[in-house]
Structure 1
Amino acid sequence: MTYDAIIVGAGHNGLTTACFLARAGLKALVIEKNDYVGGAAVSRELTPGWTYSNCSYVCSLLRPEIIRALELPKFGLQVIPYESGATFNSKGEYFNYSSDHDALRRELVRHNPRDADGYERYSRAVMKQCRFIKPLLLRTAPDPASFRPRDLSELLYIGKRFHDLGERDMAETVRFWTMSIAEFLDEYLETDIVKAHLAGSGIIGTGLGPYSPGTAYVLLHHYMGEVDGAIGAWGFARGGMGAITRAMADSFHASGGEIRAGSGLDRFLVSNGRVTGVVLENGDEFHAKTVVSGMDVRRTFVDHTDAADLPEDFLKGVKRYRFRGSSGKLNIALDGMPSFHAAPKGARFLRGDLHFLDDMEEIERAYDDWKEGRWSSSPYVDFLIPTQIDPTMAPPGKHYATIFVQYAPYELADGAWDDAKREAFAKTVIDKISRHSPDFESLIVHKEVRSPADIEREVGLTEGNIFQGELTFDQLLFNRPVPGYAQYRSPIGGLYMCGSSTHPGGGVMGAPGANAAREVLRDLGKRIDMGAAA
């Protein structure tokens, strides 16, 4: 069968691209290896009555322009914000991080009056970086080696924005993008538990520790989202993260698009330097002059493309691109709401993200374990119970816990992941939580344990890297994924990339998918209908 465009992978970026192409009038087909859409943004019922957000688990980065353009609320998407979170330490103390400015200031004063003022300066510094980077998210990164008018214009745009920062803030921006999250926090704050709480956003999904250069930017990547206009807010998609991709799929279908699930890509068909279609693992063959890959750059060009069809230097660049999976995930069905002995009765912060840390050095030691090929003996965990806000994910009176774990190696020093090692990994995580919640383990009805290798096998993320490649300075903007190919095109004519291996990177953001759609439509002489991305 012949289509105008074929999109490989029904993750959120693939669906975003597909929606915009279909809305522009193209006959579009999405192919997906799993029996369900969603990729890493999926909701699944693995035990009766409970719905898990199996991989990604919170929503903030999804660009509001995309939500509006694809009319996702019309197709059922509802994001419910949570307003606070907390970190507990081994001394029985807690730090409550609230989105309410006055409440947060009172909490900081409770720990250290100097940190209340330091946090104000910290927040202003981060927001300056957000204001600089956010307008670039829905723009195509320029090729600095090109003399094409579009690239020169975009370089001038970035240069002017950078120059307008002023001499002092220009220097601070360069420092920020290259420094560690620990160094950055130390400049503003003194209290260990406060810094530990904030440092987590600098290492989530990254094979780096809090003292590693470049982790300050990772914090920024988590800080620049919003929910209903509230900058930096996070929330739960009602019904789990699959609600996002289900709404996208419905939007795509409403524009006449077609999805074929249940068989993955075998290879791209290429003739005379141009893509002509795809062959699936089941032998089905589909043809199109435009094919867009939502897979990461390594899976696209190493696993599914004939090396003879690619320039040698490009292929070398693809193979050098770093993934370094470092994250595990537990999804747990609970028979009731666990208690936390350090939390005041009725504490609202239990509805948000919970962490169990003494200081940043504890995170660094967890990173040291990962470097030795072991899961962390005292891991960093991002622990949430979404059913306090979204009761649709569990039976009445029951709860669901999502636990993101840092660090877990893709390859263990003592052999491959197996059931026994997954169980031991889960026990390490559960034991750490249980030290702060004595009834937590007794409430477990069912659990799903995912190592980076499991995430790679089930979701298709190489090495289980949730960002489709590390978000370090050398892999951003016009270097993502490979210098000279950061504009969603590939060396093969008609074959494009739209996954998080491209600018601006990972997270359930949709920006790579929207940007890729814009470039495809520009090459076809059409325009994308989406405000700032046009």
Structure 2
Amino acid sequence: MDTRHDIVIVGGGHNGLTAAAYLARAGQSVLVLERDDHVGGAAVSAAAFTGVDARLSRYSYLVSLLPARIINELGLSIELARRRYSSYTPDPGNPATGLLVDAGDSEATRASFARIGAGADLAAWQQLGGDLGRLARALFPTVCEPLPTRSEARRLVGDDILWDELIEHPLGDMLNKRFSSDLVRGVVATDGLIGTFTSVHDASLDANRCYLYHSIGNGTGDWDVPIGGMGAVTGELERVARQAGARILTGAEVTGIDPDGTVRYRHEDRDESTVGSHVLANVAPWVLDGLLGERTPDTVKPEGAQVKVNLLLSRLPRLLDASVSAEAAFGGTFHINETLSQLEAAYRQASAGRIPELVSCEIYCHSLTDPSILSPELVTAGAQTLTVFGLHTPDRLTHQDNAATRAQLQAAVLASLNSVLAEPIEDLLLRDANGLPCIETKTTADLEAALNLPGGDIFHGLLSWPFLEDDAPRDTAAQRWGVATRHPRILLCGAGARRGGGVSGIGGHNAAMALLESV
């Protein structure tokens, strides 16, 4: 291995691959070091069940924030499929009915609002959709440009009332002001709580930042299904990076980084080192601090707050709500135990160190939109995948006994599902080659072990606003692009960069642009 490179990238997740592709195309010599035996990080597809020909998007499921600009500039052959149904949410007071938001039938959506007694909230729902569309069209074009200031971003939005609602005051204020239904408030609130352990009323505005990123993707806020699974996305990024000349070394675990660009790693039972004119860290800032030897007792470790459950079923389950087909209910995001009062109760219980009595869950059925992830035999037999994202299950719950917590969380998620189904979900689980049910559960501790996500935090830490404060330093390209560290030769390029988080490639793109601006 060459001992010097223009750029050494630590971590071969999708952001590292994005940066590698841009920089190699610009003529830079690029080395990517990945500790696993494959690239992709959390954006991978996997055969999760022994002897079963189904490749699930194992950790990340949907795509919204990957800019069309990056897809076009890198020539990525990626197909993203739009889902007709936005969401379905059973009414916890009467699970034989629920709210189905049908993007293809406005009259059916109106009738569904009326059926749960929330007819008065329909106009507010539609108004919020229009407001978020304007916000997205104003702010999303800036995510692949140097950061605007707060004042510049506010002028781009051009609506002081909307800005104050979403940027200056807790998200809960907007929910209570606009909507009267506890269920409708909860459906809206969930976008502020994905991977974020907080109350929508908290003055930290953590929920607001999460909500903003979940609402602006590609100027629409739509969350699409990657055809072929999430591995198809990173497979394309790997292809274009290698084609451009980037060198990708798997099985290479980085053990240390020096501010001068020296990177030490272990590969094939040998200690190696290389030097980069610059180092891009596609790892969490907390991990980077450890590699630099700069972590102190006061350094706060991030904390994720989700449980992920993957299931393979013989068919979709029947619902207690006979007025909605399973194909429609699972065709978008299926919400369970996610009224606003349930979400807040779950947060309080988890804050007290207990698994919530009712785990708030969001369920996606990738195979309804994209059956290509299943073998022809499974498709013919009617098999379907379900992936469950459980909220408000923070990493602190796993510290005493992760295996026991995993079992408790899995049971709680299945109980949540069964509470709205007309038949037990367990009866529909397919069996793997060993006769075991096709279900796997990943806690935050499991994500830390598998993906090096500290505390299982899928965002590498708290999300930041997609703008700089008016008085923030903008002297260097790294500062202007939101990828700076305290060391000039080391830049962030992952989810921990400003405007990081989600499957987006934005962190990788912006780190590459900051470097190329300086060349």
Normalising by structure 1, we get a TM-score of 0.85
Give the aligned residue type for 1:388: L
TM alignment of 1:245-394, pairs within 5 A: 245-268=234-257, 270=258, 273-280=259-266, 282=269, 283-301=271-289, 303-307=290-294, 320=299, 323-344=302-323, 346=325, 347-357=327-337, 359-394=339-374
- SS of equivalent to 1:223: coil
Name the structure 2 match of 1:527.
Answer: none
320 and 126 in structure 1: CA distance in 2 versus 1, 3 angstrom threshold? farther
Mapped partners of 2:68, 2:38: distance in 1: 25
Give the aligned residue type for 1:14: G
For residues 146-198 of structure 1, give each alpha carbon's deviation from its aligned partner in whole angstroms, at most 9, with x where no partner exists: xxxxxxxx54xx534524655xx335413421433332122222222222222
Mapped partners of 1:164, 1:69: distance in 2: 25
Contact 2:139/2:157 (<8 A) preserved: no
483 and 267 in structure 1: CA distance in 2 versus 1, 3 angstrom threshold? farther
- Structure 1 position 391, deviation (Å): 1.3
Q: Pick the aligned partner of 1:107 from 107, 112, 119.
A: 112
70 and 187 in structure 1: CA distance in 2 versus 1, 3 angstrom threshold? same
472 and 178 in structure 1: CA distance in 2 versus 1, 3 angstrom threshold? farther
* Mapped pair 1:79 → 2:65: no
For residues 456-498 of structure 1, give each alpha carbon's deviation from its aligned partner in whole angstroms, at most 9, with x where no partner exists: 111111111111112266xx6448xx98874323333422111
Q: Pick the aligned partner of 2:6 from 4, 11, 19.
A: 4
165 and 64 in structure 1: CA distance in 2 versus 1, 3 angstrom threshold? closer
- SS of equivalent to 1:234: coil
- Structure 1 position 521, deviation (Å): 1.2
Q: Pick the aligned partner of 1:411 from 382, 396, 407.
A: 396
Mapped partners of 1:175, 1:320: distance in 2: 32
Contact 2:97/2:323 (<8 A) preserved: no
TM alignment of 1:421-432, pairs within 5 A: 421-432=405-416
Normalising by structure 2, we get a TM-score of 0.87
Name the structure 1 match of 2:433.
Answer: none
Name the structure 1 match of 2:126.
Answer: 120
Contact 1:417/1:453 (<8 A) preserved: no
Mapped partners of 1:192, 1:50: distance in 2: 38
464 and 344 in structure 1: CA distance in 2 versus 1, 3 angstrom threshold? same
* Higher mean C-alpha deviation, range 206-215 or range 428-437: 206-215
For residues 478-531 of structure 1, give each alpha carbon's deviation from its aligned partner in whole angstroms, at most 9, with x where no partner exists: 48xx9887432333342211111111131111111111100111122xxxxxxx
TM alignment of 1:231-242, pairs within 5 A: 231-242=220-231
Contact 1:178/1:217 (<8 A) preserved: no
Name the structure 1 match of 2:169.
Answer: 179
165 and 60 in structure 1: CA distance in 2 versus 1, 3 angstrom threshold? closer
For residues 332-391 of structure 1, give each alpha carbon's deviation from its aligned partner in whole angstroms, at most 9, with x where no partner exists: 122222221214354524211101136211111111121122222211111111111211
391 and 299 in structure 1: CA distance in 2 versus 1, 3 angstrom threshold? same
Mapped partners of 1:235, 1:124: distance in 2: 19
Mapped partners of 2:324, 2:397: distance in 1: 41
Mapped partners of 1:429, 1:446: distance in 2: 15
400 and 251 in structure 1: CA distance in 2 versus 1, 3 angstrom threshold? same
Q: Pick the aligned partner of 1:515 from 504, 510, 517.
A: 510
Contact 1:298/1:319 (<8 A) preserved: no
Q: Pick the aligned partner of 1:39 from 17, 41, 45.
A: 41
Q: Pick the aligned partner of 1:28 from 30, 33, 49.
A: 30
* Mapped pair 1:58 → 2:62: yes
Contact 1:224/1:232 (<8 A) preserved: yes
- SS of equivalent to 1:330: strand
- Percent of aligned pairs with the same amino acid: 24
Give the CA RMSD over aligned residues.
Answer: 2.5
Give the aligned residue type for 2:286: R
Mapped partners of 2:202, 2:26: distance in 1: 44
- SS of equivalent to 2:55: strand
Mapped partners of 2:167, 2:105: distance in 1: 26
Name the structure 1 match of 2:139.
Answer: 133
355 and 165 in structure 1: CA distance in 2 versus 1, 3 angstrom threshold? closer
* Mapped pair 1:211 → 2:214: no
Mapped partners of 1:358, 1:236: distance in 2: 22
- Structure 1 position 298, deviation (Å): 0.8
Which sections of structure 1, spanning at least 5 residues, go unmatched? 142-153, 308-314, 525-534
Give the aligned residue type for 2:118: N
Mapped partners of 2:302, 2:324: distance in 1: 42
Mapped partners of 1:174, 1:345: distance in 2: 37
- Structure 1 position 260, deviation (Å): 0.9
- Structure 1 position 251, deviation (Å): 1.0
Mapped partners of 2:103, 2:498: distance in 1: 29
